Amino acid sequence: MSTINEKYLKLAVREAEKSRGHTGSNPFVGAIVVKDGEIIARGRTQAMGKDHAEVDALKKAGAAARGATLYVSLEPCCHYGKTPPCTDAIIAAGIRKVVAGIQDPNPKVNGKGFQALREHGITVECGFLQKEISRQNEIYLTNITQQRPFVIWKTALSLDGKYAAQDGSSQWITSDASRREVHKIRAQVDAILSSGRTVNLDNAMLNVRGVSKARQPLRVLLDSRLRVSPLSDFVRSAKEYPSLIFYHAAPLKNILSLDITGIEMQQVPSNDQGLDLQYILNSLYVRGVRSILIEAGDTLSSSFIAQKLIDKYIIFYGDLLLGGDKAILKSLPISNISQAIRFSEISYKKIGNNLMLTAYP
């Protein structure tokens, strides 16, 4: 029976993937309605405030859903939010059995959805493709269990681990295809975070380009004294792209020169490591940021990594050697191999002559 469950849940996972980046803070979920061994409807999470996957599938199935089995990647919700409970729709549709991939750790659900279904005579099974589904909804699960944004660190390196040549030149270490992949990743997060120093050095825009119908993420800078150049493309484009700078103590002239550009500024506390990163993550979470892509240099990257605030690493390797001493994490306080950061999961994707590595601590 578990083989049949996994067969249809894999289809639900595939259906859920079509909603990636389009569901706001909601998890993206897939649902398959099966009756007499035939798929009669497929559904997926719609935009925030619209139908969840179960309701989407049941509407398509109509009266044929009565007596059918519903396969869904995540436990159905049982509370009122922007939409009514999915459990109500499942019960009303006459579904006979629900097979779910994983339980929803949201305290408003967390087994209560299953309980509501069982109380109405619906058979419930759960616990299939758990690793795959948990990875698919890693942002949502981190948000719910840790009450902070999911943080991704991305960089581009030569095969010998250098971010630039000895003279500081770095355009381009990776290929056009790899850079297009980066913009796809940017389009899937709520915020892109960097430092004022990195923006000044690279004249970085930190926006999404070349991705059709992409939602522009919030551009976030950590710049303790507001030293980002008013002439940078980042500042010049502030009226076009949402932008926020966290700072600690800055000269009044710097504040005034940025204030007229439309950039939002927020003063935050600092500690021995610099700006208080946990405070910043909490501030971003409160304003609805659920995922962050860090594209920064050595100092800021090392701070996030040293404080164990990175959930996922993405490294693009170009097809070249650079030599020299431009290592990306020179400030990371590791003096002995026993202190090395090790990874539990690593995967690779070949992009032409480049390599994209994804790893989890």
Catalytic residue IDs: 54
Burial of residue 87, with CB atoms counted within 10 A of its CB: 0-12 exposed, 13-18 middle, 19 or more buried:
buried
Q: Is the backbone of residue 37 left (phi > 0), alpha (psi -120 to 50) or beta?
A: left
Residue 179 CA to residue 41 CA, distance in Å, equals: 37
At residue 242, the 3 state secondary structure works out as coil
The answer to whether 303 and 272 are in contact (CB under 8 A) is: no
Residue 210 CA to residue 299 CA, distance in Å, equals: 29
Number of residues that make up the chain: 361
The answer to whether 99 and 72 are in contact (CB under 8 A) is: yes
The answer to whether 80 and 48 are in contact (CB under 8 A) is: no
